[in-house]
Structure 1
Amino acid sequence: MSTIDRRDFLSRLALATAAFSIPPYAFSSVHKPEEFVEVEITHGKIRGIRSDGVAIFKGIPYAGKVSGDRRFRQPAPLESWTGVRDALQLGAPAIQSPRRNEPAPAEDCLFLNVWTPANDNKKRPVMFYSHGGGFVIGSGGSAGQDGTNLARNFDVVVVETNHRLGLLGFLYLDEVAGAGYAGSGNMGMLDIVEGLKWVKENIAQFGGDPGNVMIWGESGGGAKTSCLYAMPAAAPYFNKASIESGPGVRMTTKEIAAETTAMLLKELNIAPKDWRKLLEVPASDLLTMQGKLPFVPPFIEKNKNLGAMRRNYGGFGPVVDGKVLPAHPFDPTAPQISRNKPLLVGWNEDEYTFFAWERKDTEFATLDFNGLQKRLEPQYGGDTKKIIDAYRKANPNASAANIFVAISSITMMGLGSVDIAEKKVKQQGAPVYLYNFGYKSEKKIPGTDYPMGTPHAMDISFKFNNEIPPRDGSEPKESFFGGNKKERFVASHHFAELWTTFARTGKPAAKEVPEWPAYTLENRPTMRIDTTCEVINNRFSQELAMWRSIGKL
């Protein structure tokens, strides 16, 4: 396998996550209804189910159509309905390849799901989750992020949306299509804002507090959360945020987005003045065309020499258009608009092992230190020896494979997370809390004896408290990434309790977990989340000093 740098890993993140289809035995999102529950919301009555102490509503429309003459534009107003509308099945996900156990993808995809302990007018914190999958795949109905256990065990309301993705959600047409398509490069983000507006208007009917809403998300969902944190349109609708393994420090510039649009029009043989022909191209053809263009990563680096955006990015993701997204979310500073909103940010210790699993990379596990040097040189050039030396000094007992995973993992998701924490602290506003998730799965990467450890995406099932013993007392099944060890249930409870307490109060806390101090530039405390949690000051201090010295942080 050839060496792949951080940019390439992240630009392929959507493909990797697309391959990550959780087998049905791993998590069950099928619930036997004990009774039906009816709720009246702004546009009519809906019917959900009550199962195992949780009321569940799926496929609720939160905005109108985005197909036809609404393609690339704000959704049409949602039309009211008469009678009682069933909210028993997931709604269509955004246009993408078919998804396991979900409806066929469709352009009109603006549906959301709600999990609540009860529709009882109690003011519970609302946890509004944005799914991962880069900016091109995923849905609010993925089994691993089922909100049942989080709602039942921690007395919160969970909301997850489907929203436009890829070309249909982020094609920048502002410069060719005029005022009617203003904000076109951020329609996928504005859909999420429509979901937040729906929460403001309706969540009290589900026992949630519209005045206490936490936005959170992992991978691409973390980057979406970074954008929401910086968007004026989203500001009135949430109170705190968590950015997990997807630090959206920078997004696509208008200039690069315009180049991507020009590339697309050329590929379709459409002159810019005839851009309206895009409205007639079948969505399936647009999906095929989307696959020919690069993917946008959850965050974009600066060129350390030019101080400018690298120009080899294309694809479709949020655009810094100066209006919907006024500036890069965390560059050059944390967004002033969210100065007083508490923030969680962090990453998994072994992010890279997910990508090794997905790409069938077994070579890394056999590296010696000479091989490590050769593997990293194409990416880091003259800095390679300095990087390896710093890691060997900080981790004297680590193997070459261990050091490769550590370097790859921190450069993918860690440096951006630290950058966000530091910039948030410098605002001197609401606190920011930095974490590492570190529970170690014993499962081996196929073709190697190297354990998965804490791979990218493993945190999803843990923080949703979906790593728990079966309620019927039967023997637990193996977790897809988390393995067989029963200690994972303790780590999952810690993770979920920390996050739900943060949603409730703005400060993460849990029983049997040390007090988690806010991040400061003096002590740099990091909470390591595991079966036993611990606060580590100045974690990775030697490694981070080295990354700063070569301009990577």
Structure 2
Amino acid sequence: MGRRRGALAAAAAVLALAGCSLLDEPVQPTPRPGGSALVVETDAGLLEGFDHEGVRSWRGIPYAAPPVGDLRWRAPQPAAPWGAVRDATDFGADCLHAPSTVTTPSSEDCLFLNVERPVEADGDLPVLVWIHGGGFVMGSGRSEAADGEAFVRRGVLLVTLNYRLGRLGFLSHPALGPESVNAGLLDQVAALEWVQDNIADFGGDPDRVTVGGSSAGGLSVNTLMASPMTDGLFAQAISQSGLGREPTQTLAEATAEGRRLAAEAGALDAAALRSLDAAEVMTWRLDVFAGQVPVVDGALVTAPVAEIVEAGLEQDVPYLVGSTDLDLEADLLEPLGLDDDARALLRSAGERSLLRAYATPDVVRRHLMADAVFTEPARLLATAHAARAPTWRYRFEVVTPEAFARVGGAPHASELPYVFDGVLPPGAEQHAPGMADVVSDYWASFVTTGDPNLADVVTWPTAEDGALLRLTNAGAVTEPVDPWQRRLDAVRRVVEGRS
């Protein structure tokens, strides 16, 4: 029985005292056009899902109470039980996004998740809980839920979720209490707790939960692995382009920033802050590159991720980690405020030193910050964690000629359609035939067995001594020694102050 499994029984008792019961008559769900209806019992009530194209789905499931009113900036609370069967055939609202990025219905009431599983599979299924990216200011769980059907049909139960974004999810202020500073990450913890309590009812195995994510989702995974609050909530982890050496604010620094933002809005106490228009709060800047998320709060986040992993204090679970070969395009440095950081790296190392490692000025320009922010940190986390648990590192290099001519490599998050075997970029299948199956099969194998390797495919070596698997247009390539080792070593010397 789950940690909150008694909620439905309690609700039924209350209804019975009022003269009705959830158990008076068998539930008769109405079939939906194009598929059959299905009802599942959760801690909070009954859900009606639907079948489509070999996938069984339940969408828009509340995993926590709406974080509105007095619950704004508080740790997520359990969702209230509902009486009638809840329709779970449509996505819930996305969490409020940064201004000008909203293309789907969004709301402050947004703590929903989605469950997708194959119709035909029997037994307890391995579970992938996917945390979306978007720099902690945009994104939602609906994209991978809608695009992941081919991945689900490989025998995996997929859970996707929303979590609070922007300053509604990450704000420190003395009037709010300590849980406000990383509220969006606490939402992710609550979703993982919901999975432990409820996923068996959907046919999932709570002992075989993998938490995965890309970009901000990958950073979240690394943070959850390094947190003392998540023990027992997942058995494996996948971090795609999840940084690893990002700057991290102290609670005092975050609080000073929160005081300034609140003062500018004229909100000096908790009541005034919670009465602010949510859309106004979402205009307050939140910058992961400036270390504004996550914050070392002493509870969920006790130290920067790299420090935790190098000290061997993270969870010792199987780990799949990597990046793309151009995870940060040179043309994005100025818009992201990183052009000064790139120049500082050059000055620190001495331009000649980096040129020797990178071979040409053009390679320095295109790859230096991508290596410093994503690729070298992925190598650091992989090699350090490999001393504690099985670890596999990849570098994704699949790119169409058009994309290569435009940006010079495989850009940030470009492996996502291949992982979920979704809609590929135009021309991708022509220039890298079969790679979506290859990548998706590796990931599904990892979720299913804790090891990405399959029979009759290229062996993916574990990450000891810097080994990795390159995913290229020509297929998967085993690299016992990273071909980029020299330049990644140069970057590491710079960022660690040993140039």
Same fold (TM over 0.5): yes
CA distance, structure 1, for counterparts of residue 416 and residue 167 of structure 2: 26
Displacement after TM superposition at 1:534 (Å): 1.3
Cα–Cα, structure 1 residues 202 and 375, in superposed 2: closer, same or farther, change >3 Å? closer
Cα–Cα, structure 1 residues 183 and 286, in superposed 2: closer, same or farther, change >3 Å? same
| 2:180 corresponding residue in structure 1 | 184
| 2:104 corresponding residue in structure 1 | 102
Cα–Cα, structure 1 residues 120 and 435, in superposed 2: closer, same or farther, change >3 Å? closer
Cα–Cα, structure 1 residues 550 and 187, in superposed 2: closer, same or farther, change >3 Å? closer
| 1:64 corresponding residue in structure 2 | 65
| 2:323 corresponding residue in structure 1 | 347
Amino acid paired to 1:526 = L
| 1:156 corresponding residue in structure 2 | 156
1:205 pairs with 2:181: no
| 1:296 corresponding residue in structure 2 | 288
Displacement after TM superposition at 1:515 (Å): 1.9
Q: Determine if contact 2:312/2:388 at 8 Å carries over to the other structure.
A: no
CA distance, structure 1, for counterparts of residue 53 and residue 415 of structure 2: 24
| Secondary structure of 1:347 counterpart | strand
| 1:391 corresponding residue in structure 2 | 358
1:422 pairs with 2:383: yes
Cα–Cα, structure 1 residues 338 and 506, in superposed 2: closer, same or farther, change >3 Å? farther
CA distance, structure 2, for counterparts of residue 357 and residue 327 of structure 1: 29
| 1:226 corresponding residue in structure 2 | 222
- Cα deviation 1:114-136 (Å, max 9, x = unaligned): 11003876211100110000111
Uncovered stretches (5+) of structure 1, i.e. residues with no partner? 1-30, 298-312, 362-371, 393-398, 468-478
Cα–Cα, structure 1 residues 247 and 376, in superposed 2: closer, same or farther, change >3 Å? closer
Structure 2 counterparts to residues 395-406 of structure 1, below 5 A: 400-406=361-367
Cα–Cα, structure 1 residues 143 and 182, in superposed 2: closer, same or farther, change >3 Å? closer
Cα–Cα, structure 1 residues 418 and 231, in superposed 2: closer, same or farther, change >3 Å? same
Equivalent of residue 442 in structure 1, options 401, 418, 421: 401
Displacement after TM superposition at 1:197 (Å): 1.1
1:490 pairs with 2:482: no
Q: Determine if contact 2:65/2:80 at 8 Å carries over to the other structure.
A: yes
Structure 2 counterparts to residues 32-43 of structure 1, below 5 A: 33-43=34-44
Would you identify which runs of 4 or more consecutive aligned residues in structure 1 move more than 6 Å? 357-361
| Secondary structure of 1:415 counterpart | helix
- Cα deviation 1:38-71 (Å, max 9, x = unaligned): 2222211111121111101111111112100001
Equivalent of residue 471 in structure 2, options 516, 526, 529: 529
Cα–Cα, structure 1 residues 494 and 358, in superposed 2: closer, same or farther, change >3 Å? farther
Q: Determine if contact 1:121/1:204 at 8 Å carries over to the other structure.
A: no
1:256 pairs with 2:253: yes
Amino acid paired to 2:53 = D
TM-score, with normalisation over the residues of structure 2? 0.84
Cα–Cα, structure 1 residues 490 and 512, in superposed 2: closer, same or farther, change >3 Å? farther
Q: Determine if contact 1:124/1:155 at 8 Å carries over to the other structure.
A: yes
| 2:5 corresponding residue in structure 1 | none
- Cα deviation 1:91-117 (Å, max 9, x = unaligned): 1111114766632x1111110011100
CA distance, structure 2, for counterparts of residue 444 and residue 438 of structure 1: 11
| Secondary structure of 1:129 counterpart | strand
- Cα deviation 1:152-211 (Å, max 9, x = unaligned): 1x10001010011111111123x444xxx3322111111111111111111112221111
CA distance, structure 1, for counterparts of residue 130 and residue 440 of structure 2: 13
| 1:396 corresponding residue in structure 2 | none
| 2:49 corresponding residue in structure 1 | 48
Cα–Cα, structure 1 residues 488 and 352, in superposed 2: closer, same or farther, change >3 Å? same
Q: Determine if contact 2:355/2:361 at 8 Å carries over to the other structure.
A: no
1:266 pairs with 2:208: no
Uncovered stretches (5+) of structure 2, i.e. residues with no partner? 1-31
Cα–Cα, structure 1 residues 400 and 70, in superposed 2: closer, same or farther, change >3 Å? same
| 2:13 corresponding residue in structure 1 | none
CA distance, structure 2, for counterparts of residue 59 and residue 98 of structure 1: 24
CA distance, structure 2, for counterparts of residue 492 and residue 457 of structure 1: 14
Displacement after TM superposition at 1:275 (Å): 3.9
Deviates more, 1:232-241 or 1:380-389: 380-389
CA distance, structure 1, for counterparts of residue 291 and residue 341 of structure 2: 26
Displacement after TM superposition at 1:238 (Å): 0.2
| 1:3 corresponding residue in structure 2 | none
Amino acid paired to 2:366 = V
| Secondary structure of 2:193 counterpart | helix
| 2:346 corresponding residue in structure 1 | 380
- Cα deviation 1:209-259 (Å, max 9, x = unaligned): 111000111111011111111222222210010111122345332122112
**Superposition CA RMSD, Å:** 2.8
Cα–Cα, structure 1 residues 390 and 338, in superposed 2: closer, same or farther, change >3 Å? closer
| Secondary structure of 1:414 counterpart | helix
TM-score, with normalisation over the residues of structure 1? 0.77
Amino acid paired to 1:349 = D
| 1:455 corresponding residue in structure 2 | 411
- Cα deviation 1:512-549 (Å, max 9, x = unaligned): 4322221113xx21111234111112211211232234
CA distance, structure 2, for counterparts of residue 122 and residue 535 of structure 1: 34
| Secondary structure of 1:434 counterpart | strand
Aligned pair count? Answer: 459
Amino acid paired to 1:389 = R
| Secondary structure of 2:107 counterpart | coil
CA distance, structure 2, for counterparts of residue 314 and residue 504 of structure 1: 34
Q: Determine if contact 2:138/2:165 at 8 Å carries over to the other structure.
A: yes
Displacement after TM superposition at 1:145 (Å): 6.6
Amino acid paired to 1:208 = G
- Cα deviation 1:471-518 (Å, max 9, x = unaligned): xxxxxxxx44x6344354511111111111111111111344322221
Cα–Cα, structure 1 residues 457 and 32, in superposed 2: closer, same or farther, change >3 Å? farther
| 1:135 corresponding residue in structure 2 | 136
Displacement after TM superposition at 1:83 (Å): 2.2
Amino acid paired to 2:301 = L
CA distance, structure 2, for counterparts of residue 151 and residue 518 of structure 1: 25
| Secondary structure of 1:331 counterpart | helix
| Secondary structure of 1:236 counterpart | coil
CA distance, structure 2, for counterparts of residue 461 and residue 405 of structure 1: 23
Q: Determine if contact 2:56/2:117 at 8 Å carries over to the other structure.
A: yes
| Secondary structure of 2:59 counterpart | strand
Q: Determine if contact 2:372/2:491 at 8 Å carries over to the other structure.
A: no
CA distance, structure 1, for counterparts of residue 137 and residue 59 of structure 2: 22
| 1:167 corresponding residue in structure 2 | 167
| 1:365 corresponding residue in structure 2 | none
